[in-house]
Structure 1
């Protein structure tokens, strides 16, 4: 039987920061959620746009043309080839829509870079306390 997905609840259950998890597929794209805090680092996706939707909190997306500030419920699409750096001063939960070919941190590899296999892992319940 088909089941609905509550992206905000999945994001809240994540235990790792900057480690998106795939929650759905739409044609050749993945829908992902993540808990973020701090900054991911400058990178670009040469062939793919990237949609950010804030589920909880606030996110600043730094661009060379100037920052974009997103509050809960707001979204922004980073066009393909545009260098950007997502930053969350406080913990923030986001939903991402990206083509399946999109590399987490584009051509940049950092300690925060996650492989597609890592992003496809099941979500472990977040410890209470």
Structure 2
């Protein structure tokens, strides 16, 4: 799988996120056209990301990230509840949800990247 035309800073972000959540995936960043950047036609160096993974693995990662979102928002009322009014179980659940929300916010850019990539490739095929 190759995702083209990504700014260098975004490619680096995606690579670090993937390395953290899927350390066994082989991820390579390739500089596409350094001259465009050097000549001032683009603000960042255009890159591509190459992943040696199947579509199923991509779908699994997307589903994992989306499940985080669903879990968080299925307990949305608890997230806005005053901690003083919470039971001990609710406080425990609240803490777990906050940790999950933090993880979701960190990895959510990957879900957007893959959704975009898969949508573009389905149109081309």
Question: For this structure pair, what is the TM-score category when the shorter chain's length is used for normalisation?
Answer: 0.3 to 0.5
Q: Which structure: greater helix fraction?
A: 2
Which is higher, the Rg of structure 1 or of structure 2? 2
Q: Which has the higher contact order (CA 8 A, sep 6+)?
A: 1
TM-score for the superposition, normalised by structure 2? 0.35
TM-score for the superposition, normalised by structure 1? 0.34
